[in-house]
Chain A
Amino acid sequence: MLSHPLIVEAAETLFVPVAIRNNTEGDAEAKVREAFREPAWNNPVVRLLGADGKDLVPRLADEWSLAQLADGMVQARRQAKLAVPPWLAALRDEAVARRRGLERAVFAMA
Chain B
Amino acid sequence: MIATRAGWLEGHEVSEVWFDPAVLPFGKLFEIATQKGCARQVWVTIDPQAEAAPAAKRLDAEPRPDKEPKYYLLQTPWRHVPMTDRQATVINALLRPGGPGVTDDAPLSPQQRALFAAVQARPDAGWPIAIDAPIEAAWARAAACARRPAATKK
Contact = CB atoms under 8 A, between A and B. Distances in A.
Contact of B17 (A9, A90, A101, A104): A104
Interface string A88-110: 11110110011011111111111
Contacts of A87: 87, 107-109, 112
A5 interface: yes
Given A9-B109, A89-B107, A4 B135 contact: yes
B124 interface: no
B87 A105 contact: no
B106 interface: yes
A interface, over-half SS? helix
A26 interface: no
Interface in B96-121: 105-112
Say which size band chain A's interface belongs to: 20 to 34
A6 interface: yes
Given A86-B107, A90-B107, A97-B20, A102 B2 contact: yes
B18 A5 contact: no
A106 B26 contact: no
A50 interface: no
Nearest to B29: A105
Contacts, number: 117
B23 interface: yes
A108 B19 CA distance: 16
B139 interface: yes
A85 interface: yes
A89 B21 CA distance: 18
Interface string B38-51: 11111111100100
Given A5-B135, A110-B13, 8 more contacts: A9-B109, A90-B87, A93-B20, A98-B2, A102-B21, A104-B19, A104-B59, A106-B16
26 contacts: A4-B135, A5-B82, A5-B135, A5-B136, A6-B84, A9-B109, A87-B107, A90-B84, A93-B20, A94-B86, A98-B2, A102-B2, A102-B18, A103-B19, A103-B45, A104-B45, A105-B42, A105-B49, A106-B16, A107-B33, A107-B38, A108-B13, A108-B15, A108-B40, A109-B40, A110-B13
